A and B are shown apart, each in its own frame.
Chain A
Amino acid sequence: MTLDWLFAGIALLVALGWYLSYSAARLDRLHARVEGTLAALDAQLVRRAEATLELVHSGALDAASSLMLASAASESLAMSEFAEADIESQLFSQDRESVESDLTEALTQVLGEETLAHLDSQGADDPDAMDVLARVRATCLRVQLARRFHNGAVTDVRMVRRKWTVRMFRLAGHAAMPQTVEFRDALPNGWA
């Protein structure tokens, strides 16, 4: 009788141990995924800022527009120096979020529908500028995708970390609680 209870207890412990180790591995994978998507988002933001600077240097825009874009893009590039710390803490600082919103804003202001139509009409004379413009558009789209997929990963990990087993047995260890990244990433109207 007592032996039965003993075996039942051992079986229960083994099951619990397996479940905890499985949950810990699952959580580790989810955290790794968040780090990956955040690093990818950072890389994408750098590419967007670089493409914007290329557009500035292409000479397709007027001086005032160029200056506005150049300043917004270089702010963004400066922020990515802290990317490693951001990835460590599994979130972007509010400063970075607002700098990226500012770049989105600057692109929206400068690349209004009229300007885009004007650039399009001159496209034949300046194929290089059109190339750069297409690159800026592609990087803007990729920023949207990278942010969505990162926030999807964050949602998944937060859902698991809410479970009582995870909290009670501290399965997340010292890993920071990831936060969704929020900034404006809409395309300029003429491109939407």
Chain B
Amino acid sequence: MRVGIVCPYSFDIPGGVQYHVRDLAEILIARGHQISVLAPADDDTPLPPYVVSAGRAIPVRYNGSVARLNFGPITNARVNGWLDRGRFDLIHIHEPITPSIGSLALWAAECPIVATFHTSNLRSRAMQVSYPFFRPSLEKILGRIAVSEDARRTVTTHFGGEPVVIPNGVYVDRFADAPVNPDWQGTPERPTVAFLGRMAEPRKGMPVLAAALPTIRRELPGIRVLVAGPGDPDEVRSQVGPEDAGALEFLGAVSDADKASLLRSVDVYIAPNTGGESFGIILIEAMAASAAVLASDIPAFVRVLDGGKAGVTFRNEDPADLAAQLVALLRDRVTRDEVAARGRRRADIFDWGVVADQITMVYETVLEGAAMARVPVTGPQRVIGRLRRAARGEQGEGG
């Protein structure tokens, strides 16, 4: 299949959508499909061979935070050029509602379109205002995918219809086969716990963990909390007493390989996030690495953990409960191993092999439906589209 994938966010910046698009493109290419990814990029950034640059993204305040987006006539021309040259059987647009190359491709494309919705926090006021204008191009989306239950609900509320939920993928083997690092391995006297993510961002839950630390240390004085991720260690140290600060070890931002080794080595991975997560891919990575997962009971995490069977949960924003659950888990080797084993099995359903099968099935179903229609269902919509085709000397087909 010739598939064009549109990613609205820049590949040089880390982010869930970009990783998803990269992994999807790579597994589809490995399976023999012809894939081209259109994404924003600075002109001097080295890009993987399958990525075509849509030009430099500009930081704009949008949807309550600063997003880097592409728009304007030059970007539009680049999108059209990519579509024309690609002659795709199908294009797959991620986040089609952002004012960026996603909506431009949606507007211009004349082949069947699949769209994946990642976000669960759309601004409804902006949607209502732009809706009448946008609706006709949304009708060109023949298959809708949501990456999580929350994202599915958002799509159903704003656009109607029932998207298919296909989760984010994880390369399970990369975590399951990661080398164990003895420095990060726990012992009964000195058990290890991993925290990953920006420590300065309160919703990642570092303050909850810091508040629980004194209780945890009273029970397990030898505990080591390995903190990986960007941020200022002194800021975190100042949240806890000088003695408790000794339990914290800061690894800074770690590479993908080190992250996998860290999760593979520690006794427990802890995710005290207080909210704002729609999925929780890091939990799956930890499960794939056979770490026992202890997470706050926010809805996204409870779902990933199969209702709490594939990991242990504590009451969100409750340091006392966090401490109690963590101490219990670290003291009981048998339970911890069972939790880790259930998590390891659970991770398999999120493996990229399985996820890519599902996405390929969506492509095939959509193409079959489009092929059986009597006129092209996403054919040239507008006068401009028809003129563009005429200018290229192509015959208009049908309607």
Residues of A at the B interface (CB closer than 8 Å) are 22, 25-26, 28-30, 32-33, 35-37, 39-41, 43-44, 138, 141-142, 144-146, 148-153, 155-156, 159-160
Interchain CB contact under 8 A, B372 and A40: yes
Q: How far is it, in angstroms, between the C-alpha of A35 and the C-alpha of B365 when the chains are bound?
A: 14
Q: Contacts of B382 on A, CB cut-off 8 Å?
A: 22
Kindly state whether residue B355 has any CB partner on chain A within 8 Å.
no
Name the residue of chain A whose CB is nearest to the CB of B382.
A22
One of B164, B361, B399 near A25 (C-beta < 8 A): B399
* 13 further contact pairs, Cβ within 8 A, besides A29-B375, A43-B368, A156-B160: A29-B376, A30-B377, A33-B139, A35-B374, A36-B373, A142-B361, A146-B368, A148-B162, A149-B142, A149-B366, A152-B142, A152-B162, A156-B139
Interchain CB contact under 8 A, B374 and A141: no
Q: How far is it, in angstroms, between the C-alpha of A67 and the C-alpha of B394 when the chains are bound?
A: 55
Interchain CB contact under 8 A, A36 and B365: no
Kindly state whether residue B369 has any CB partner on chain A within 8 Å.
yes
Name the residue of chain B whose CB is nearest to the CB of A154.
B161
Q: How far is it, in angstroms, between the C-alpha of A127 and the C-alpha of B373 when the chains are bound?
A: 38
Name the residue of chain A whose CB is nearest to the CB of B143.
A149
Map CB proximity to A onto B357-399 as digits: 1 under 8 Å, 0 otherwise. 0100110111011111111111101100000000000000001
One of A25, A145, A159 near B365 (C-beta < 8 A): A145
Name the residue of chain B whose CB is nearest to the CB of A138.
B361
Q: Closest CB of chain A to B360's CB: distance in Å? A: 11
One of A32, A40, A150 near B399 (C-beta < 8 A): A32
Q: Closest CB of chain A to B371's CB: distance in Å? A: 7
Map CB proximity to A onto B160-202 as digits: 1 under 8 Å, 0 otherwise. 1111100000000000000000000000000000000000000
Q: Contacts of A156 on B, CB cut-off 8 Å?
A: 138-139, 160-161
Interchain CB contact under 8 A, A40 and B368: yes
Name the residue of chain B whose CB is nearest to the CB of A41.
B369
Interchain CB contact under 8 A, B362 and A36: no
Kindly state whether residue B94 has any CB partner on chain A within 8 Å.
no
Kindly state whether residue B16 has any CB partner on chain A within 8 Å.
no
Residue among B135, B143, B161, B369 with the most chain A CB within 10 A? Answer: B369
Kindly state whether residue B346 has any CB partner on chain A within 8 Å.
no
Interchain CB contact under 8 A, B399 and A36: no
Kindly state whether residue B99 has any CB partner on chain A within 8 Å.
no
Kindly state whether residue B136 has any CB partner on chain A within 8 Å.
yes
Q: Closest CB of chain B to A154's CB: distance in Å? A: 9
Residues of B at the A interface (CB closer than 8 Å) are 135-136, 138-139, 142-144, 160-164, 358, 361-362, 364-366, 368-379, 381-382, 399
Name the residue of chain B whose CB is nearest to the CB of A158.
B160
Interchain CB contact under 8 A, A39 and B369: yes
Q: Contacts of B364 on A, CB cut-off 8 Å?
A: 142
Interchain CB contact under 8 A, A36 and B369: yes
Q: Contacts of B377 on A, CB cut-off 8 Å?
A: 29-30, 32-33, 36
Q: How far is it, in angstroms, between the C-alpha of A156 and the C-alpha of B381 when the chains are bound?
A: 16
Q: How far is it, in angstroms, between the C-alpha of A36 and the C-alpha of B163 when the chains are bound?
A: 18
Interchain CB contact under 8 A, A29 and B368: no
| Contact A33-B369, Cβ < 8 Å, known A148-B162, A151-B161, A156-B161 | yes
Q: How far is it, in angstroms, between the C-alpha of A37 and the C-alpha of B399 when the chains are bound?
A: 18
Q: How far is it, in angstroms, between the C-alpha of A3 and the C-alpha of B379 when the chains are bound?
A: 40
Q: Closest CB of chain A to B74's CB: distance in Å? A: 28
Q: Contacts of A144 on B, CB cut-off 8 Å?
A: 164
Name the residue of chain B whose CB is nearest to the CB of A151.
B162
Interchain CB contact under 8 A, A148 and B164: yes
Q: Contacts of A25 on B, CB cut-off 8 Å?
A: 399
| Contact A28-B399, Cβ < 8 Å, known A153-B142, A159-B160 | yes
Name the residue of chain A whose CB is nearest to the CB of B378.
A29
Q: How far is it, in angstroms, between the C-alpha of A41 and the C-alpha of B369 when the chains are bound?
A: 8
Q: Closest CB of chain B to A113's CB: distance in Å? A: 15
Q: How far is it, in angstroms, between the C-alpha of A156 and the C-alpha of B362 when the chains are bound?
A: 19
Interchain CB contact under 8 A, B375 and A26: no
| Contact A36-B161, Cβ < 8 Å, known A28-B399, A29-B379, A145-B361 | no
Q: How far is it, in angstroms, between the C-alpha of A159 and the C-alpha of B399 when the chains are bound?
A: 20
Q: Contacts of B358 on A, CB cut-off 8 Å?
A: 141
Q: Closest CB of chain A to B359's CB: distance in Å? A: 11
Q: Contacts of A22 on B, CB cut-off 8 Å?
A: 382
Q: How far is it, in angstroms, between the C-alpha of A155 and the C-alpha of B158 when the chains are bound?
A: 13
Q: Contacts of A146 on B, CB cut-off 8 Å?
A: 365, 368-369
Q: Closest CB of chain B to A72's CB: distance in Å? A: 23
| Contact A142-B365, Cβ < 8 Å, known A28-B399, A149-B143, A155-B160 | yes
Q: Contacts of B135 on A, CB cut-off 8 Å?
A: 159
Q: Closest CB of chain B to A16's CB: distance in Å? A: 16
Name the residue of chain B whose CB is nearest to the CB of A37.
B369
Q: How far is it, in angstroms, between the C-alpha of A39 and the C-alpha of B162 when the chains are bound?
A: 19
Interchain CB contact under 8 A, A26 and B136: yes
Residue among A28, A40, A141 with the most chain B CB within 10 A? Answer: A40
Q: How far is it, in angstroms, between the C-alpha of A164 and the C-alpha of B361 when the chains are bound?
A: 38
Q: How far is it, in angstroms, between the C-alpha of A159 and the C-alpha of B139 when the chains are bound?
A: 10
Q: Contacts of B372 on A, CB cut-off 8 Å?
A: 35-37, 39-40, 43
Q: Contacts of B143 on A, CB cut-off 8 Å?
A: 145, 149, 152
Q: Contacts of B144 on A, CB cut-off 8 Å?
A: 152
Q: How far is it, in angstroms, between the C-alpha of A148 and the C-alpha of B143 when the chains are bound?
A: 8
Q: How far is it, in angstroms, between the C-alpha of A43 and the C-alpha of B136 when the chains are bound?
A: 28
Q: Closest CB of chain A to B396's CB: distance in Å? A: 12
Residue among A33, A35, A146 with the most chain B CB within 10 A? Answer: A33
